[in-house]
Structure 1
Amino acid sequence: MAEQEYSVDFSKIAEKLVKNKKVIFFVLLALVLLFSAWVRLIPADQYYLSAMDPYWHYRHSAEIVDHGYPGTELREIDGKMVPWDSFHNAPYGGEASKEFYQYFTAYSYMYLGKFLVADLMTWTKLTPVFFGVLSVLFMYLLVAQLFGRGAGLGAAFMFSIAPSFLMRSVAGFADTDAPIAFFTILSFYLFLLAWDRESYLWGASAGLSMGLFAFTWGGYRFAPLFITAAVGFHLVSKITLAYVRKKNIIDELKTHRKKYTVFAVFLLSMFIFVTLFKGIELAKFWSATRVFSSLKEMQRESLDTGVRNVFLTVSEMSPGSLVEIVSRVHIISVFLFFGFLALLPFGLWKKLSGKFFHLSFFTIWLAATFYSSFTAVRFIEMFAIPLAIFSGIVIAEMISKISSKKPAISIFIVVTLIALIFFVPNYNLSGPSYFQTSISIASQSGPGVSGPWLDFYDWVKTETPKGAIFASWWDPGHALTALGERPAVADGSQNDEHVHDLALMFTSTDMDTSLSLMKEYNISYFFTSSDLLPKYSAISFLAGEPDYYPQVPLSQTSQQGDTVVLEYKLSQTEAVYVSLTGPFASATLQSGYNTVPIQRIIVFSSGQPVKFETEAENAVDYMIYVLPDYQSVFLLPPRLENNLLTRLHLFSGADVDGLEFVKDFGGTIKVFKVK
């Protein structure tokens, strides 16, 4: 029997694909989504979460899985049983927060995740990837329905690797940033769908999305504010045009009556759902009209309680500069936005002429988030969303110009787009390209806790009494309560007297003051860590007297006979010299042609600190603390030498009555028991 030959006619397949462009777009969309998932999964092989705040959500998710509600117990408050969190805000505790992200993580794990992954930590680590990819999908749907599938694909791809969004949606960064982006895009997509189709059902769906958005983040109110501003602009423009064209204004508005009714349905449903999820106060979205003044309020120096505002020391709440904003969103996305403006008079405006409402909406969104980014850098992430939309429109417009009849122009367009995305560096001409930035961000994302910190949290959980209250600065609080399972005086969810009093403990040179505050908070263990030294400017600011630890790197080493001389340059004319002669050490300060001895110096010998003092009358009242590797020194005036942080972390608690040194974790963390 003759062997039958089979062949594939690729020309016919290509012909069918060209005729059915939908298939091509769906394939390309699938590739964008797969790539979006892949790049976010790059750090997935690391077990622990990639920052401190995600442990807040992980702990509450674990509590929901364990006993059905966030918090450590149920407590009767005003006749109602309320979930109470005794780990937060110790020793008093507080009502446990209820947030969508925690419930989503817990229930999705119970009904799906536990069959796919080893434990809740692994599942929690993957949730930002899920919301990140969903955000990209709805970015496509949003832009495609308004400006075409090509623009949708371009916007989806640009947003999938937008640096400011990617860094907050990679595996491990299990904070609310990815869900916030998702509900922002979803809510706008549903509302614009309702507006265009004049559908009450879609309007109510947008209201439900806003309700879930509010359940996720209290700052959701900017979204309905943008929608209201766009609808108001639409109303004013129609009235103005009717007046200019001498038409009956009432008749003109009646033609859009159903759209305005859809807007009313959206507002009403949103108010109902937000009230159901979070209460009537959060449903009053119009308070967002004070959004910019409230941002300034968050950045004012003192709170109503009279203590310094902790937000002034949080990096993401610090004001942004133009250079920082451009750097974080990448110069290419800014360039493409200006490309959008440049293309308007060359046919693009004609193509978009029927999309005036949508463009005004996105322009309001872009302008408001751009302005907000100058107030607080965390809003740069929101600014990246409308930038991706405008970028997608430009990319689609450029690709539409490709034609076999114009090969030179077509090649130029293709080369330009490839160069912009894959090769052009950031604004400083030394940073990576837009694409390479995303790969670098994902590759460099690492666990928020490792090494000595993991050993410390394990020791806290297994070697200390349950209910023992721990205190340090607020940064490790969430990880301590989640991994160590012990109450913390402060964590990343506070802006009150707790943080202020911790600052006083660390900065005080009066040990009685520090110990009295520890007793007031019923602290069992107090710990310090090496990262608190560079953070001392923030700690001391909140205590009321801004200060810092001057650290000077080693400039050079020389040999003078039997003495090794280490030079630590303060400036061109000033330097500290440390002289090591056998087992002895001394330090001098040279300023110009004058040299004076420094009264005290600590050096390390066989891993142990050794203190030397000079009796010279002209000695400067400072201490030079030489780090064990001799690569840098701290210059400690008496106010730093004698504060609690120095005495505990650098001197290991020597001569501090009332505190007992318990354990040292690799020199990084030192733990003391309050007697």
Structure 2
Amino acid sequence: MDEQEGLIEARKRRLFDIVKQRRVWVLGLLVIAVILGVYIRSMPMHDHGGRPGLWDIARDDWTLGPDLDPWFFTRYAKTIVEEGSLPEIDMMRNVPLGFETARETKLLPYLIVWTHSLVNIFGDYSVEFAAAFLPVIMFVLTILAFFFFVREVFIGRGKANEGKANVIAFISTFFMIVVPEFLSRTVAGIPEKESAAFFFMFLTFYLFLKAWKSESMRGAGVFAVLAGVSTAAMGLIWGGVTYVFITIGVASFLAFILNKIRKKEFIIYSIWILVSFGLLSLLSQKFSLFEMTSSIDSGLAFLVFFILVVHFVVWKTKISQIKFLEDTKIPKNIVSLIAAIVVGLLLVSVAFGPSFIVEKGQVINRFLFKPVVGRWDVTVAENRQPYFAEWKNSFGPFIQNRPIMFWLFFIGSVVLFKKMLNKIKKKDSWVLTAFYVLFFFGLVFSRYASNSFFNGENFISKALYYITALLLIGSLIYYYALYHKEGHRGLERVRFDYLLLFALFVLCVFTARSAVRLIMVLAVVAPIFVAYLIVECFSKWQESERGMGKNVIGIIFIVVVLLSLFAFWNYYGAVKQRAYYHVPSGYNYQWQKAMSWVRDSTPEDAVFAHWWDYGYWVQSIGERATVLDGGNMITFWNYHMGRLVLTGDNQDDALEFLYNHDTTHLLIDSTDIGKYGAFSSIGSNKELDRFSWIPTMMSDKRQTQETANGTVMVFQGGGMLDEDLIINESGQNIFLPAGAAGVGGVILETVNGANGSFTIDNAQVVFFFNNQQIRARLRYVYFDGRFMDLGEGVEGTAYIIETIVPSGGSISVDRMATMIYISPRVMRGFLAQKYLLDDVFNNFPNFPVAYTEPALVVAELRAQGLGVRDFVYYQGLQGPIKIWDVEYTGREKKVEEYVSIEPEKYIDWVL
């Protein structure tokens, strides 16, 4: 008995010893992080009322989430699974030219294929299932790569430093998992480029740091090669490989200036850039050596490589024995920098001409202030340049309108910046930290809001932006020169891993203010600084002696922890809800049913024309070729589609453009109403002759007036005039200029009829100009399926839409609550006449309706016996997907311009 008890005690001690080991805790917490990440990211695949959220109701099978682009990669993956490889020319795109598949990055489709092979070990699963599940797998890998990268940044010598690094890495990782901004590109059902690319980005940083810190040259070389391979893998997935090239390039340049690069570091950098450039140029035609060396992102990394080569050529050869070089008091690396600049400028001028340098300077200047130019880029929502007042919303929660996460990561970055400079004189470190704070404020707040003093466009905004950056750079140069003169080596002892982290952080802040879609990258990196702030506050409290100072630090630590917990809990709640509902909506179900008709009822060689947004859906779900798609490889065709078809004012031009693209069907859906401003802008000439919009107006019940035999109703809403108007009031012509005068509403007068019916007797549109209200008759009204011509007035239309009003579990229909105002300019176009008004003027007879798929809510209401019209207002405007056959007259001709990929031959403005 005693022997058995002793054995039990021995086993308990052994288990306790195992549990006490740091590696066990690290592994255990990593497992918890992975489980949490998988649980959240897989939520769209969970049960949603008897079936998974990611479900195609037409095919009764797995599908993807509500995004567009993932369908393109899924289609390529399906082609590889079915045929073994991709064709050289993808004829489903850009009809009639097709698309060279070698110009597209292919790694993501192959990842889906490999996932398909993996999951089919456990059963029979479709490619769509594999594509939906891939982001979950990649997020697990991203969690691991992110953890080890953050840990590698902060790890130092000694168990205490290793423990701090582990804590910072875990806090950062758990925050990263629940950051809502990061969800949309990493959740199940969205096999987007970013879902896989972030893994390779953090893996590259980790491997590069491991190479830099390796004591053996062999180990450093292996890690450098792996970092190059990982960089190439990221580039073969996402153009965001820019983050790797710029971050490592800037960090290595700073390390070079600080005299931290010796032979080993030079070899590491050389291996990394040569491997990554070589693989990218070898594996994809999208990357050429010329483009990579001359661009402002990968080109920057190459420029640093060139500087390092010049440095080692100058100082490791007989050139260093030149008397000037032997006698100079200028730092060697500065001499090398000057020499590299001179030699580089001469080589570039000879090879490409001096204008090449000027052009790159202009590109950089535009990149700093207005990275998005051209009508197409500006109209793409995710490319829009945000203001701080907008992107701060991604860094809540808020307390008294202050974004908690934003201020936590900002303060954390300031504390870490000061820590990074702890080897220089204390006073100098405080001065540089103060300049860093100014620089951060200039970078962020110089583009605060459109109506702010700092709107990012005016002189004071640009001055703040430039001056704060120059102050930081100037102060660094000053102290660099001062410390060199004094022989002080404090700046040389700045840790490289901190340089790399700050290069990444500043780049992320810059790109967050440059494009909406890039806010998520900052959202992923920001938690690192929050985690560091928490751990550093605790360390300072531990190190402080008892007294008032320790108590103050303790209070600060508690406040930081409480705010962080508050932010984490809010993030967790928000990300869970978003993940669960990141599934196909009624709008997607409408498309699934419409594409089912397309698959079953149109020839396999049919070609569809539509606005570019829907191309990947038609190609992948409908399995038919398209003229345009989300790749926007030929934006000139977008111009023609917008000008000649969607806003086109005559049938002949529309037919001729479609004829040149072998089009058999034309498709429009209800979201095109909201996108009218986008495609009418792109489809306009230099003077914006087609640019317009379709505003929604709501009935103001408070202004409704009963008359002796009817009712007067007021609809409010509108916008600026899209073209000049001349109206006649009391026999006098009044000129209303476009862009200065505006529409403020519409007034309708009804006349009562028998059995509660009524007719619309009069319509007026209300204009505002020079603080005056001007009313004019409106000629057309569309109501209850009838188009009414009131005889005279402004040649626009009040299009009245039924509004669905849920109330206490029941639904009612308000027939006079909502309208859209169709201006005279819009009225002249195809979308208004054919899609909204069913070709009431018979101007487009060669487009007979082939199929109409009603909005899901309309279909359900009709099934319940409610005879609602095609368009209803319910949680926004909802309407049908309409598909028309295209019947050619035989008079159409081949026009080179309509299939040209060179817009500069035909237009002199930027699309």
Match in the other structure for 2:798: 624
Q: Distance in 1 between matches of 2:509 and 2:594?
A: 42
Deviations 1:421-447 (A, max 9, x none): 44359xxxxxx9333332243233222
Task: Note if contact 2:115-2:134 (Cα within 8 Å) is conserved in structure 1.
Answer: no
Letter in 1 for 2:795: D
Match in the other structure for 1:508: 648
Residue aligned with 2:629, SS: coil
Q: Is 1:445–2:582 an aligned residue pair?
A: yes
Letter in 1 for 2:624: R
**Among 186, 189, 194, which residue is 1:169 paired with?**
186
Task: Note if contact 2:794-2:824 (Cα within 8 Å) is conserved in structure 1.
Answer: no
Matches within 5 A, 1:390-539: 390-400=529-539, 416=559, 419-424=562-567, 433-447=570-584, 450-494=588-632, 495-504=634-643, 505-539=645-679
Letter in 1 for 2:614: P
1:36 CA drift (Å): 1.3
Deviations 1:337-377 (A, max 9, x none): 23324545997865999762111111111112221222222
Q: Is 1:389–2:528 an aligned residue pair?
A: yes
Q: Is 1:68–2:84 an aligned residue pair?
A: yes
**Among 853, 867, 875, which residue is 1:665 paired with?**
853
Letter in 1 for 2:169: G
**Among 61, 64, 70, which residue is 1:49 paired with?**
64
Matches within 5 A, 1:224-373: 224-238=245-259, 256-279=262-285, 281=288, 285-289=292-296, 293=364, 299-301=372-374, 309-330=375-396, 331-341=403-413, 343-344=415-416, 356-373=495-512
Cα gap change, 1:103 to 1:663, in 2 (>3 Å): same
Cα gap change, 1:114 to 1:67, in 2 (>3 Å): farther
Residue aligned with 1:299, SS: coil
Listed as ranges, the gaps of 5+ residues in structure 2 are 46-51, 55-62, 155-164, 299-362, 397-402, 425-489, 719-741, 804-815, 855-869, 871-879, 888-911
Deviations 1:129-168 (A, max 9, x none): 2212211211111111231111111121121122322221
Q: Distance in 2 between matches of 1:400 and 1:22?
A: 22
Letter in 2 for 1:615: G
1:596 CA drift (Å): 4.3
1:272 CA drift (Å): 2.5
Cα gap change, 1:350 to 1:23, in 2 (>3 Å): farther
Letter in 1 for 2:782: I
Q: Distance in 2 between matches of 1:612 and 1:137?
A: 65
Q: Distance in 2 between matches of 1:17 and 1:9?
A: 12
Higher RCO, 1 vs 2 (CA within 8 Å, ≥6 residues apart)? 1
Aligned alpha-carbon RMSD (Å):
3.4
Task: Note if contact 1:466-1:486 (Cα within 8 Å) is conserved in structure 2.
Answer: yes
Deviations 1:217-250 (A, max 9, x none): 24424412321221121111128xxxxxxxxxxx
**Among 562, 567, 592, which residue is 2:714 paired with?**
567
Deviations 1:6-58 (A, max 9, x none): 99999979964774232222212211121111111122232232201110111
Letter in 1 for 2:786: V
Deviations 1:32-85 (A, max 9, x none): 121111111122232232201110111111101110123xxx4xxxxxxxx221
Q: Distance in 2 between matches of 1:107 and 1:134?
A: 15
Match in the other structure for 1:375: 514
State the identity %.
Answer: 21
Letter in 2 for 1:445: H
Comparing 593-602 with 212-221, which one deviates more in the overlay?
593-602
Comparing 335-344 with 483-492, which one deviates more in the overlay?
335-344
Listed as ranges, the gaps of 5+ residues in structure 1 are 75-82, 240-252, 302-308, 426-431
Comparing 89-98 with 490-499, which one deviates more in the overlay?
89-98
Deviations 1:524-577 (A, max 9, x none): 111111110110000100011321112211111454344243320248995422
Task: Note if contact 1:403-1:410 (Cα within 8 Å) is conserved in structure 2.
Answer: no
Letter in 2 for 1:273: L
Letter in 1 for 2:380: V
The TM-score with structure 1 as length reference comes to 0.85
**Among 551, 568, 575, which residue is 2:696 paired with?**
551
1:663 CA drift (Å): 1.7
The TM-score with structure 2 as length reference comes to 0.64
Letter in 1 for 2:517: R
Q: Distance in 1 between matches of 2:38 and 2:886?
A: 48
Q: Is 1:576–2:719 an aligned residue pair?
A: no
1:379 CA drift (Å): 2.1
Q: Distance in 2 between matches of 1:270 and 1:8?
A: 55
Task: Note if contact 2:143-2:177 (Cα within 8 Å) is conserved in structure 1.
Answer: yes
Deviations 1:615-648 (A, max 9, x none): 36xx333321111333321222322122100112
Cα gap change, 1:549 to 1:369, in 2 (>3 Å): same
Residue aligned with 2:613, SS: coil
Residue aligned with 1:492, SS: coil
Matches within 5 A, 1:82-161: 83-96=88-101, 97-113=104-120, 115-116=122-123, 118-147=125-154, 148-161=165-178
Match in the other structure for 2:779: 599
Task: Note if contact 2:115-2:131 (Cα within 8 Å) is conserved in structure 1.
Answer: no
Q: Distance in 2 between matches of 1:525 and 1:237?
A: 63
Q: Distance in 2 between matches of 1:339 and 1:593?
A: 51
Deviations 1:75-108 (A, max 9, x none): xxxxxxxx22111111221212341010111122
Comparing 507-516 with 273-282, which one deviates more in the overlay?
273-282
Q: Distance in 2 between matches of 1:112 and 1:342?
A: 46
**Among 763, 780, 790, which residue is 1:614 paired with?**
790
Task: Note if contact 1:91-1:469 (Cα within 8 Å) is conserved in structure 2.
Answer: no
Cα gap change, 1:342 to 1:543, in 2 (>3 Å): closer
Q: Distance in 1 between matches of 2:390 and 2:542?
A: 39
Letter in 2 for 1:521: H
Task: Note if contact 2:642-2:680 (Cα within 8 Å) is conserved in structure 1.
Answer: yes
Letter in 2 for 1:229: V
Cα gap change, 1:538 to 1:140, in 2 (>3 Å): same
Letter in 1 for 2:801: L
Cα gap change, 1:514 to 1:114, in 2 (>3 Å): farther
